Amino acid sequence: MDTATDAHTRRPNETHTMPMNALHMNAPARSLEGRVALVTGGARGIGRAIVDHLADLGATVGVLDLKKELADQAVTELTAQGHTAMAFGGNVAERDVIMDAAAALKSACGRFDIMVSNAMWVRYGPISELTPEMVRRMVGTGFESVIWGIQAAEAHMGEDGGSVINIASAAAFLGLQRGLTYAGVKAGVLGLTRAGAVDLGPRGIRVNAVCPGFTTTEGVMLNVTPEMVQKRLARTPMQRVGTPEDVARVAGFLASSASGFVTGEYIKVDGGATYAHL
């Protein structure tokens, strides 16, 4: 969840959107040229911002989404901008969906370098209202899919290694009201990240996590009130909420050689809110 105006000149209650070309202007020039990436949940929200940013950095990007038509639309838009992309559809809780997409990218492009596990399905609510179906879907989409992404990296990344980027959440560090399963899933993603880094390090495959805080995706903004946004602002030292592009830029760093000796780590993208006592 992101921005365009300097924090020191911004009033505390202002929120901002980023111009569409701002990511491109700020991006290191083609630092991922020739690389091949797969992004789950890549058609919307944070996933789409990551797709766009990796493409701007020169990567060929596979867009995997539950709704194939949305992945197709994203690829059409990327192609019109001169990027190379492929669309995939399916439920990422199913191992073969991720493994097959990674294999298809490697077959088409000759390599597979970057695995971004971003997909999540979430329902917030009281503990008493959790159902087995809700829990299974959240765990399958947000936790099991990360395991399959790490497996895909091990199976299809080459001798020169690669980068796995797992999208966790600041909720992994907090007691999230009405978010028992979500917080548990995201904390589990950090465990997978550390263990994956240990196992895949000898292969030159780095495994890291990004932990967004409150981020202004369309889905989030449909479920919050202006009062809730103001409450978030009041608790955030940087005095703004995040945008998907904020998260995408960190993912781009972790995908690149600039983070070549970083593995098993997480980066919070929350404007300092997790540790603030305001």
Catalytic residues: 182
Kindly state the tokens that stand for 277.
Answer: 């006592």
Torsion of CA 248, 57, 118, 95, to 10 degrees: -170
Beta strands in the chain (DSSP E): 36-40, 60-65, 85-89, 114-117, 162-167, 205-212, 266-269
CA 17 to chain centre: 19
The CA distance from 266 to 249, in Å, is 14
Residues 91 and 89: their CA atoms lie apart, in Å, by 7
User: Which tokens belong to 88?
Assistant: 């995939």
Would you say 248 and 52 are in contact if contact means Cβ atoms under 8 Å apart?
Answer: yes
Residue 181 near residue 139, CB atoms below 8 Å:
yes
Query: CB of 64 within 8 A of CB of 238?
Result: no
